[in-house]
Amino acid sequence: MLYSKFDLLRIQNEFGLKIHEVAHFLPSLPLIAPDALLTNMLADSMPLALSQGSEKARSEWIISPVLTAVRRLADSQVSVFSG
């Protein structure tokens, strides 16, 4: 099904799905300041990512550095997969 044709209510009815919405499904965690490497990378790459305006550019120039920083904070105990 094309995403543009997606209708959540129709899918709920067809498959008998029930949606359980909750306000907070993640535990409360303390805020962590970004490290200097992430801050510098985003300062350099953010204008480029936003000027290109594509999901691919945002993924490469914004999301990937953030996920890599999370991996550093987790002592490489998590993996990051492209795509």
Distances (CA, A) of 77 to 26, 39, 68: 19, 22, 11
Secondary-structure breakdown of the chain: helix, strand, coil percentages, each rounded to the nearest 5: 55, 0, 45
Question: What residue spans define the domains of the chain?
Answer: 33-76
For residue range 40-78, list pLDDT tens digits in order: 999 999 898 889 888 888 888 999 999 999 999 999 999
Contact 68, 80 (CB under 8 A): yes
Per-residue pLDDT at 34 exceeds 80: yes
Per-residue pLDDT at 5 exceeds 90: no
pTM equals: 0.62
**pLDDT grade for 1, boundaries at 50, 70 and 90:** low
Report the SS3 class of residue 58: helix
Under DSSP, the state recorded for 3 is G
Q: Which two tokens stand for residue 82?
A: 């492209």
